[in-house]
Amino acid sequence: MGIGDYFSALRAHWTIVVACAVLAVVAAAAVSALTSPTYIASTRLFVNTTGAATASDAYQGSLFSTGRVASYAELAAGEEVARRVVSSLGLPEGPEAVMSQVEASAVPGSVLLDVTASAGSPTGARDLANSVAEQTSALVRELESAGRQGEPAVSATIADFADMPARPTTPSWGRNLVFGLLVGVIVGSIAAVARALGRPIVRSAGDLAAAVGPVLGTILVARGASANEMLAVDRHPEAQESFRELRASFLAATTSTGYRTVLLTGPSPGIGTSTTAIGLAVTLAESSRSVVVVDADVRGATVHTTFGVGPTPGLAEYLSGTATMNDVVVPTDLDNLSILASGLERPDTRASFGTPKMVETIKVLRQYFEYVLVDAPAVLSGSDTAVLAASVDAALIVARAGETARRDVTTTADKIRLSGTPIMGSVVNHGPRGRRTRRS
Protein backbone atom coordinates (compact mmCIF):
# COMPACT_ATOMS: atom_id res chain seq x y z
CA MET A 1 0.00 0.00 0.00
CA GLY A 2 1.15 3.50 -0.86
CA ILE A 3 0.60 6.58 1.29
CA GLY A 4 -2.52 7.39 -0.73
CA ASP A 5 -3.94 3.97 0.05
CA TYR A 6 -3.49 4.55 3.77
CA PHE A 7 -5.35 7.85 3.58
CA SER A 8 -8.10 6.19 1.56
CA ALA A 9 -8.40 3.48 4.20
CA LEU A 10 -8.71 6.10 6.93
CA ARG A 11 -11.37 8.00 4.98
CA ALA A 12 -13.32 4.84 4.29
CA HIS A 13 -13.19 3.62 7.90
CA TRP A 14 -13.05 6.94 9.77
CA THR A 15 -15.78 5.73 12.10
CA ILE A 16 -13.38 3.10 13.47
CA VAL A 17 -10.78 5.79 14.21
CA VAL A 18 -13.36 8.02 15.90
CA ALA A 19 -14.80 5.14 17.95
CA CYS A 20 -11.35 4.08 19.18
CA ALA A 21 -10.44 7.66 20.03
CA VAL A 22 -13.67 8.18 21.99
CA LEU A 23 -13.28 4.90 23.86
CA ALA A 24 -9.66 5.71 24.71
CA VAL A 25 -10.58 9.17 26.00
CA VAL A 26 -13.42 7.71 28.08
CA ALA A 27 -11.03 5.10 29.49
CA ALA A 28 -8.46 7.79 30.32
CA ALA A 29 -11.16 9.84 32.05
CA ALA A 30 -12.30 6.79 34.02
CA VAL A 31 -8.75 6.00 35.13
CA SER A 32 -8.24 9.63 36.13
CA ALA A 33 -11.49 9.66 38.10
CA LEU A 34 -10.66 6.40 39.91
CA THR A 35 -7.06 7.35 40.70
CA SER A 36 -6.55 8.67 44.23
CA PRO A 37 -5.13 12.20 44.14
CA THR A 38 -1.52 12.72 45.20
CA TYR A 39 -0.22 16.05 46.56
CA ILE A 40 3.44 16.97 46.68
CA ALA A 41 5.12 19.51 48.97
CA SER A 42 8.81 20.48 49.16
CA THR A 43 11.09 22.05 51.71
CA ARG A 44 14.79 22.99 51.67
CA LEU A 45 17.59 22.75 54.24
CA PHE A 46 20.78 24.78 54.33
CA VAL A 47 23.88 22.89 55.50
CA ASN A 48 26.73 24.92 56.96
CA THR A 49 29.65 24.62 59.33
CA THR A 50 29.76 26.47 62.63
CA GLY A 51 32.51 28.38 64.40
CA ALA A 52 34.37 29.76 61.33
CA ALA A 53 36.63 32.57 62.59
CA THR A 54 38.19 33.69 59.30
CA ALA A 55 37.30 33.81 55.64
CA SER A 56 39.63 30.89 55.01
CA ASP A 57 37.86 28.88 57.69
CA ALA A 58 34.50 29.74 56.15
CA TYR A 59 35.70 28.61 52.71
CA GLN A 60 37.01 25.35 54.08
CA GLY A 61 33.76 24.89 55.99
CA SER A 62 31.75 25.43 52.80
CA LEU A 63 33.70 22.70 51.04
CA PHE A 64 33.17 20.46 54.05
CA SER A 65 29.42 21.13 54.05
CA THR A 66 29.15 20.40 50.34
CA GLY A 67 30.66 17.01 50.91
CA ARG A 68 28.23 16.34 53.75
CA VAL A 69 25.01 17.22 51.88
CA ALA A 70 24.83 13.91 49.97
CA SER A 71 25.10 11.99 53.22
CA TYR A 72 22.35 14.06 54.80
CA ALA A 73 20.09 13.32 51.82
CA GLU A 74 20.41 9.63 52.69
CA LEU A 75 19.51 10.41 56.28
CA ALA A 76 16.43 12.45 55.30
CA ALA A 77 15.03 9.56 53.27
CA GLY A 78 16.20 6.92 55.78
CA GLU A 79 14.47 4.80 58.36
CA GLU A 80 15.53 6.76 61.47
CA VAL A 81 14.04 10.02 60.24
CA ALA A 82 10.91 8.13 59.13
CA ARG A 83 10.54 6.59 62.56
CA ARG A 84 10.79 9.99 64.24
CA VAL A 85 8.27 11.49 61.78
CA VAL A 86 5.77 8.74 62.53
CA SER A 87 6.13 9.44 66.23
CA SER A 88 6.00 13.22 65.82
CA LEU A 89 2.90 13.31 63.62
CA GLY A 90 1.19 10.27 65.14
CA LEU A 91 0.86 8.61 61.75
CA PRO A 92 -0.96 5.27 61.53
CA GLU A 93 1.46 3.84 58.95
CA GLY A 94 4.92 2.52 59.72
CA PRO A 95 8.37 3.94 58.82
CA GLU A 96 8.51 1.94 55.56
CA ALA A 97 5.37 3.68 54.26
CA VAL A 98 6.78 7.09 55.14
CA MET A 99 10.08 6.28 53.44
CA SER A 100 8.18 5.49 50.23
CA GLN A 101 6.58 8.94 50.36
CA VAL A 102 9.80 10.90 50.85
CA GLU A 103 12.58 11.86 48.46
CA ALA A 104 15.67 13.88 49.32
CA SER A 105 18.40 15.13 47.03
CA ALA A 106 21.36 17.45 47.23
CA VAL A 107 21.38 20.46 44.93
CA PRO A 108 24.54 19.95 42.82
CA GLY A 109 27.41 22.32 43.61
CA SER A 110 25.68 23.78 46.67
CA VAL A 111 25.08 23.20 50.35
CA LEU A 112 21.32 22.92 49.86
CA LEU A 113 19.23 19.82 50.50
CA ASP A 114 15.75 19.47 48.96
CA VAL A 115 13.14 17.28 50.65
CA THR A 116 9.94 16.30 48.81
CA ALA A 117 6.99 14.49 50.38
CA SER A 118 3.81 13.11 48.82
CA ALA A 119 0.46 12.40 50.49
CA GLY A 120 -3.20 12.00 49.72
CA SER A 121 -4.13 15.44 51.02
CA PRO A 122 -2.51 18.88 50.74
CA THR A 123 -2.15 19.26 54.53
CA GLY A 124 -0.68 15.77 54.81
CA ALA A 125 1.94 16.55 52.17
CA ARG A 126 2.89 19.86 53.79
CA ASP A 127 3.10 18.45 57.33
CA LEU A 128 5.09 15.43 56.18
CA ALA A 129 7.64 17.54 54.30
CA ASN A 130 8.12 19.95 57.20
CA SER A 131 8.36 17.13 59.75
CA VAL A 132 11.00 15.31 57.68
CA ALA A 133 13.00 18.54 57.46
CA GLU A 134 12.72 19.14 61.19
CA GLN A 135 13.68 15.59 62.11
CA THR A 136 16.58 15.60 59.63
CA SER A 137 17.88 18.84 61.15
CA ALA A 138 17.62 17.37 64.64
CA LEU A 139 19.33 14.10 63.62
CA VAL A 140 22.20 16.00 61.95
CA ARG A 141 22.70 18.06 65.09
CA GLU A 142 22.83 14.91 67.19
CA LEU A 143 25.27 13.13 64.90
CA GLU A 144 27.57 16.10 64.45
CA SER A 145 27.62 16.73 68.21
CA ALA A 146 28.61 13.18 69.07
CA GLY A 147 32.04 13.10 70.67
CA ARG A 148 32.16 16.88 70.83
CA GLN A 149 31.54 18.94 73.87
CA GLY A 150 29.36 21.84 72.75
CA GLU A 151 28.27 23.11 69.36
CA PRO A 152 28.18 20.65 66.38
CA ALA A 153 30.63 21.11 63.56
CA VAL A 154 27.83 21.12 60.92
CA SER A 155 24.17 22.06 61.12
CA ALA A 156 21.21 21.62 58.77
CA THR A 157 18.87 24.58 59.04
CA ILE A 158 15.45 24.74 57.41
CA ALA A 159 15.69 27.48 54.79
CA ASP A 160 12.22 27.12 53.23
CA PHE A 161 9.24 25.54 54.91
CA ALA A 162 6.79 23.63 52.73
CA ASP A 163 3.57 25.36 51.65
CA MET A 164 0.26 23.63 51.19
CA PRO A 165 -0.02 22.49 47.54
CA ALA A 166 -2.91 24.10 45.67
CA ARG A 167 -3.71 21.14 43.41
CA PRO A 168 -2.86 17.45 43.17
CA THR A 169 0.09 16.35 41.06
CA THR A 170 -1.69 13.19 40.01
CA PRO A 171 -3.94 12.37 38.33
CA SER A 172 -3.15 14.85 35.56
CA TRP A 173 -6.47 15.02 33.71
CA GLY A 174 -5.17 17.02 30.76
CA ARG A 175 -2.15 14.80 30.18
CA ASN A 176 -4.16 11.60 30.58
CA LEU A 177 -6.90 12.72 28.18
CA VAL A 178 -4.40 13.85 25.54
CA PHE A 179 -2.49 10.59 25.92
CA GLY A 180 -5.72 8.61 25.66
CA LEU A 181 -6.71 10.53 22.52
CA LEU A 182 -3.36 9.87 20.87
CA VAL A 183 -3.46 6.18 21.74
CA GLY A 184 -7.04 5.92 20.49
CA VAL A 185 -6.22 7.60 17.18
CA ILE A 186 -3.18 5.37 16.67
CA VAL A 187 -5.05 2.18 17.53
CA GLY A 188 -8.05 3.25 15.43
CA SER A 189 -5.82 4.07 12.46
CA ILE A 190 -4.13 0.68 12.69
CA ALA A 191 -7.53 -1.02 12.90
CA ALA A 192 -8.83 0.96 9.90
CA VAL A 193 -5.83 0.05 7.77
CA ALA A 194 -6.05 -3.59 8.89
CA ARG A 195 -9.72 -3.67 7.92
CA ALA A 196 -8.90 -2.16 4.53
CA LEU A 197 -6.21 -4.77 3.98
CA GLY A 198 -8.62 -7.55 4.88
CA ARG A 199 -11.40 -6.02 2.78
CA PRO A 200 -9.93 -4.59 -0.44
CA ILE A 201 -11.91 -1.63 -1.72
CA VAL A 202 -12.38 0.01 -5.08
CA ARG A 203 -9.92 2.87 -5.43
CA SER A 204 -9.84 3.41 -9.18
CA ALA A 205 -11.43 2.47 -12.47
CA GLY A 206 -8.91 -0.35 -12.80
CA ASP A 207 -10.05 -1.92 -9.53
CA LEU A 208 -13.70 -1.75 -10.59
CA ALA A 209 -12.97 -3.13 -14.05
CA ALA A 210 -11.18 -6.11 -12.50
CA ALA A 211 -14.16 -6.78 -10.24
CA VAL A 212 -17.13 -6.34 -12.57
CA GLY A 213 -16.17 -5.45 -16.12
CA PRO A 214 -15.86 -2.36 -18.35
CA VAL A 215 -15.97 1.06 -16.67
CA LEU A 216 -18.05 3.57 -18.61
CA GLY A 217 -17.05 6.60 -16.58
CA THR A 218 -15.47 8.13 -13.50
CA ILE A 219 -17.56 10.80 -11.80
CA LEU A 220 -15.60 13.63 -10.20
CA VAL A 221 -17.94 14.88 -7.51
CA ALA A 222 -17.14 17.99 -5.51
CA ARG A 223 -16.88 17.20 -1.81
CA GLY A 224 -19.99 18.24 0.08
CA ALA A 225 -21.96 19.14 -3.08
CA SER A 226 -25.54 17.97 -3.39
CA ALA A 227 -26.81 16.36 -6.57
CA ASN A 228 -28.46 19.47 -7.99
CA GLU A 229 -25.49 21.68 -7.02
CA MET A 230 -23.11 19.27 -8.69
CA LEU A 231 -25.13 19.34 -11.91
CA ALA A 232 -24.75 23.12 -12.16
CA VAL A 233 -22.07 23.69 -14.78
CA ASP A 234 -21.15 27.12 -13.46
CA ARG A 235 -20.42 25.69 -10.00
CA HIS A 236 -18.81 22.35 -10.73
CA PRO A 237 -17.77 22.20 -14.40
CA GLU A 238 -15.38 19.31 -13.75
CA ALA A 239 -18.20 17.16 -12.38
CA GLN A 240 -20.45 18.08 -15.29
CA GLU A 241 -17.72 17.19 -17.78
CA SER A 242 -17.30 13.75 -16.19
CA PHE A 243 -21.03 13.13 -16.71
CA ARG A 244 -20.65 14.05 -20.36
CA GLU A 245 -17.85 11.51 -20.67
CA LEU A 246 -20.16 8.95 -19.09
CA ARG A 247 -22.84 9.89 -21.62
CA ALA A 248 -20.44 9.29 -24.51
CA SER A 249 -19.52 5.81 -23.22
CA PHE A 250 -23.16 5.04 -22.41
CA LEU A 251 -24.35 5.98 -25.90
CA ALA A 252 -21.59 3.92 -27.49
CA ALA A 253 -22.59 0.90 -25.41
CA THR A 254 -26.34 1.23 -26.01
CA THR A 255 -25.91 1.85 -29.75
CA SER A 256 -23.95 -1.37 -30.16
CA THR A 257 -26.26 -3.45 -27.97
CA GLY A 258 -29.67 -1.85 -28.49
CA TYR A 259 -30.19 -1.37 -24.73
CA ARG A 260 -32.70 1.38 -23.96
CA THR A 261 -33.95 0.49 -20.47
CA VAL A 262 -31.13 0.48 -17.96
CA LEU A 263 -31.15 -0.11 -14.21
CA LEU A 264 -28.56 1.75 -12.08
CA THR A 265 -27.67 0.26 -8.73
CA GLY A 266 -24.79 -0.42 -6.37
CA PRO A 267 -23.84 -2.68 -3.48
CA SER A 268 -24.83 -0.35 -0.63
CA PRO A 269 -26.76 2.87 0.03
CA GLY A 270 -25.05 6.24 -0.06
CA ILE A 271 -22.57 5.56 -2.85
CA GLY A 272 -24.14 7.98 -5.35
CA THR A 273 -26.39 5.80 -7.48
CA SER A 274 -29.16 8.42 -7.63
CA THR A 275 -26.66 11.18 -8.39
CA THR A 276 -25.21 9.11 -11.23
CA ALA A 277 -28.65 8.33 -12.67
CA ILE A 278 -29.68 11.99 -12.53
CA GLY A 279 -26.41 13.25 -13.97
CA LEU A 280 -26.54 10.78 -16.84
CA ALA A 281 -30.18 11.65 -17.52
CA VAL A 282 -29.44 15.39 -17.61
CA THR A 283 -26.59 15.02 -20.08
CA LEU A 284 -28.67 12.68 -22.28
CA ALA A 285 -31.44 15.28 -22.32
CA GLU A 286 -28.89 17.97 -23.23
CA SER A 287 -28.05 15.94 -26.33
CA SER A 288 -31.73 16.04 -27.44
CA ARG A 289 -32.48 12.48 -26.36
CA SER A 290 -35.74 11.96 -24.49
CA VAL A 291 -35.21 10.24 -21.16
CA VAL A 292 -37.22 9.38 -18.05
CA VAL A 293 -35.77 8.60 -14.62
CA VAL A 294 -37.78 6.04 -12.66
CA ASP A 295 -37.19 6.30 -8.92
CA ALA A 296 -37.61 2.70 -7.74
CA ASP A 297 -35.87 3.32 -4.42
CA VAL A 298 -39.06 3.60 -2.40
CA ARG A 299 -37.15 3.73 0.89
CA GLY A 300 -34.67 6.47 0.04
CA ALA A 301 -36.32 8.36 -2.79
CA THR A 302 -34.43 11.52 -3.81
CA VAL A 303 -35.09 12.04 -7.52
CA HIS A 304 -38.18 14.23 -7.15
CA THR A 305 -36.55 16.48 -4.53
CA THR A 306 -33.47 16.97 -6.71
CA PHE A 307 -35.64 18.39 -9.46
CA GLY A 308 -37.76 20.44 -7.07
CA VAL A 309 -40.89 18.35 -7.56
CA GLY A 310 -43.19 18.18 -4.57
CA PRO A 311 -45.08 15.11 -3.33
CA THR A 312 -46.70 13.46 -6.29
CA PRO A 313 -48.18 10.06 -7.21
CA GLY A 314 -45.49 7.77 -8.49
CA LEU A 315 -44.43 4.21 -9.13
CA ALA A 316 -46.14 2.86 -6.01
CA GLU A 317 -49.50 4.32 -7.02
CA TYR A 318 -49.18 3.19 -10.63
CA LEU A 319 -48.32 -0.39 -9.67
CA SER A 320 -51.25 -0.48 -7.25
CA GLY A 321 -53.63 0.78 -9.93
CA THR A 322 -54.59 4.00 -8.15
CA ALA A 323 -52.91 6.27 -10.73
CA THR A 324 -52.44 6.33 -14.49
CA MET A 325 -49.24 6.80 -16.46
CA ASN A 326 -50.24 10.39 -17.22
CA ASP A 327 -50.60 11.00 -13.48
CA VAL A 328 -47.16 9.74 -12.50
CA VAL A 329 -44.81 10.84 -15.30
CA VAL A 330 -43.82 14.43 -14.54
CA PRO A 331 -41.82 16.64 -16.92
CA THR A 332 -38.98 18.66 -15.43
CA ASP A 333 -37.73 22.15 -16.24
CA LEU A 334 -35.19 20.55 -18.59
CA ASP A 335 -36.29 19.77 -22.11
CA ASN A 336 -36.50 16.05 -22.95
CA LEU A 337 -36.28 14.99 -19.29
CA SER A 338 -39.13 13.58 -17.19
CA ILE A 339 -39.26 11.69 -13.93
CA LEU A 340 -41.43 8.98 -12.43
CA ALA A 341 -41.20 9.47 -8.68
CA SER A 342 -41.34 6.61 -6.21
CA GLY A 343 -44.61 7.73 -4.69
CA LEU A 344 -45.73 6.71 -1.23
CA GLU A 345 -44.38 3.34 -0.15
CA ARG A 346 -47.02 0.68 0.28
CA PRO A 347 -46.61 -2.76 1.88
CA ASP A 348 -46.97 -4.41 -1.54
CA THR A 349 -44.88 -1.97 -3.61
CA ARG A 350 -41.59 -3.87 -3.53
CA ALA A 351 -43.41 -7.16 -4.01
CA SER A 352 -44.84 -5.71 -7.24
CA PHE A 353 -41.34 -5.37 -8.72
CA GLY A 354 -41.41 -9.01 -9.78
CA THR A 355 -44.88 -8.93 -11.37
CA PRO A 356 -45.87 -8.56 -15.02
CA LYS A 357 -47.19 -5.10 -14.07
CA MET A 358 -43.63 -3.88 -13.52
CA VAL A 359 -42.45 -5.34 -16.81
CA GLU A 360 -45.40 -3.68 -18.55
CA THR A 361 -44.56 -0.34 -16.89
CA ILE A 362 -41.05 -0.35 -18.37
CA LYS A 363 -42.41 -1.36 -21.78
CA VAL A 364 -44.91 1.52 -21.75
CA LEU A 365 -42.22 4.03 -20.81
CA ARG A 366 -40.01 2.71 -23.59
CA GLN A 367 -42.70 3.58 -26.12
CA TYR A 368 -42.56 7.24 -25.15
CA PHE A 369 -38.89 7.76 -24.25
CA GLU A 370 -35.67 6.92 -26.00
CA TYR A 371 -34.05 5.93 -22.70
CA VAL A 372 -35.51 4.70 -19.42
CA LEU A 373 -33.13 4.93 -16.45
CA VAL A 374 -34.26 3.09 -13.31
CA ASP A 375 -32.72 4.32 -10.05
CA ALA A 376 -32.82 1.13 -7.99
CA PRO A 377 -32.11 0.36 -4.31
CA ALA A 378 -28.79 -1.10 -3.19
CA VAL A 379 -28.52 -4.76 -4.13
CA LEU A 380 -27.05 -5.94 -0.82
CA SER A 381 -29.78 -4.21 1.19
CA GLY A 382 -32.49 -6.56 -0.03
CA SER A 383 -33.78 -8.69 -2.87
CA ASP A 384 -35.85 -5.93 -4.53
CA THR A 385 -33.24 -4.88 -7.07
CA ALA A 386 -32.37 -8.36 -8.28
CA VAL A 387 -36.06 -8.93 -9.00
CA LEU A 388 -36.44 -5.47 -10.56
CA ALA A 389 -33.48 -6.11 -12.88
CA ALA A 390 -35.52 -8.68 -14.80
CA SER A 391 -37.71 -5.82 -16.12
CA VAL A 392 -34.93 -3.94 -17.95
CA ASP A 393 -32.52 -4.55 -20.80
CA ALA A 394 -29.30 -4.18 -18.78
CA ALA A 395 -27.78 -2.93 -15.53
CA LEU A 396 -25.13 -0.36 -14.71
CA ILE A 397 -23.29 -0.84 -11.41
CA VAL A 398 -22.08 2.18 -9.41
CA ALA A 399 -19.24 1.93 -6.86
CA ARG A 400 -17.77 4.66 -4.70
CA ALA A 401 -14.00 5.01 -4.81
CA GLY A 402 -12.31 4.49 -1.45
CA GLU A 403 -15.41 3.04 0.15
CA THR A 404 -17.03 0.20 -1.80
CA ALA A 405 -15.46 -3.21 -1.25
CA ARG A 406 -14.45 -5.15 -4.35
CA ARG A 407 -16.10 -8.32 -3.13
CA ASP A 408 -19.38 -6.40 -2.61
CA VAL A 409 -19.23 -5.27 -6.24
CA THR A 410 -18.64 -8.84 -7.37
CA THR A 411 -21.54 -10.10 -5.26
CA THR A 412 -23.79 -7.37 -6.65
CA ALA A 413 -22.90 -8.32 -10.23
CA ASP A 414 -23.51 -12.01 -9.52
CA LYS A 415 -26.98 -11.34 -8.09
CA ILE A 416 -27.99 -9.23 -11.07
CA ARG A 417 -26.74 -11.83 -13.53
CA LEU A 418 -28.83 -14.48 -11.76
CA SER A 419 -31.91 -12.53 -12.84
CA GLY A 420 -30.83 -13.01 -16.45
CA THR A 421 -30.00 -9.32 -16.91
CA PRO A 422 -26.67 -8.46 -18.54
CA ILE A 423 -24.34 -5.88 -17.02
CA MET A 424 -23.46 -3.24 -19.58
CA GLY A 425 -20.76 -1.68 -17.46
CA SER A 426 -19.92 0.19 -14.27
CA VAL A 427 -19.27 3.71 -12.98
CA VAL A 428 -16.75 4.94 -10.41
CA ASN A 429 -18.27 7.63 -8.23
CA HIS A 430 -16.09 10.12 -6.31
CA GLY A 431 -13.17 9.03 -8.47
CA PRO A 432 -9.62 10.39 -8.10
CA ARG A 433 -8.97 13.88 -9.42
CA GLY A 434 -6.20 15.04 -11.66
CA ARG A 435 -7.12 13.20 -14.85
CA ARG A 436 -7.71 15.01 -18.13
CA THR A 437 -11.27 15.20 -19.35
CA ARG A 438 -12.59 15.34 -22.84
CA ARG A 439 -15.88 16.74 -24.11
CA SER A 440 -18.10 14.48 -26.17
Residue 52, domain member (yes or no): yes
59 has a pLDDT exceeding 70: no
Asked if 11 and 60 sit in the same domain, the reply is no
Residue 166, domain member (yes or no): no
Asked if 333 and 274 sit in the same domain, the reply is yes
- What are the Cα distances from residue 298, in Å, to 295, 311, 356, 411? 7, 13, 19, 22
Contact 398, 275 (CB under 8 A): no
**Residue 354 pLDDT class (50, 70, 90 cuts):** confident
Give the CATH number, domain containing residue 109.
3.30.70.1130
What average pLDDT does the segment 29-37 reach?
89
For 269-324, what is each residue's pLDDT tens digit? 888 899 899 999 999 999 999 999 999 887 777 788 888 777 788 888 888 888 89
List CB contacts of 321: < 8 A, sequence separation 6 or more. none
pLDDT at res. 155: 82
Residue 436, domain member (yes or no): no
Asked if 137 and 154 sit in the same domain, the reply is yes
pTM over the 0.95 mark: no
What average pLDDT does the segment 396-406 reach?
87
Asked if 280 and 345 sit in the same domain, the reply is yes
Q: Burial letters for 276-286: b for 16+ Cβ neighbours within 10 Å, e otherwise? A: bbbbbbbbbbb
**Residue 237 pLDDT class (50, 70, 90 cuts):** confident
Asked if 358 and 214 sit in the same domain, the reply is yes
Q: Among 160, 185, 220, where does a domain finish?
A: 160
Residue 439, domain member (yes or no): no
pLDDT at res. 284: 95
Mean pLDDT of the chain: 83
Asked if 272 and 178 sit in the same domain, the reply is no
Residue 435, domain member (yes or no): no
**Residue 55 pLDDT class (50, 70, 90 cuts):** very low
Asked if 230 and 325 sit in the same domain, the reply is yes
Contact 230, 279 (CB under 8 A): yes
Residue 401, domain member (yes or no): yes
Contact 331, 304 (CB under 8 A): no
Residue 165, domain member (yes or no): no
Residue 434, domain member (yes or no): no
Reduced to 3 states (helix: H, G, I; strand: E, B; else coil), residue 439 is coil
247 has a pLDDT exceeding 90: yes
Asked if 70 and 150 sit in the same domain, the reply is yes
How long, in residues, is the chain?
440
Asked if 255 and 350 sit in the same domain, the reply is yes
Angle between helices 3-12 and 173-198 (to 10 degrees): 100
Range of the domain at 334: 202-429
Asked if 19 and 73 sit in the same domain, the reply is no
What average pLDDT does the segment 125-144 reach?
90
Q: Is the peptide bond before 422 cis (omega within 30 degrees of 0)?
A: no
Asked if 250 and 313 sit in the same domain, the reply is yes
**Residue 30 pLDDT class (50, 70, 90 cuts):** very high
| Number of structural domains found in the chain | 3
List CB contacts of 216: < 8 A, sequence separation 6 or more. 246, 249, 250, 253, 396, 424, 425, 426, 427
- What is the residue-wise DSSP string for 280-308? HHHHHHHTT--EEEEE--SSS--HHHHTT
pLDDT at res. 436: 39
Name which residue leads in pLDDT, 68 or 264.
264
Name which residue leads in pLDDT, 72 or 150.
72
Give the CATH number, domain containing residue 218.
3.40.50.300
d(CA 241, CA 123): 74
**Residue 38 pLDDT class (50, 70, 90 cuts):** very high
Asked if 178 and 252 sit in the same domain, the reply is no
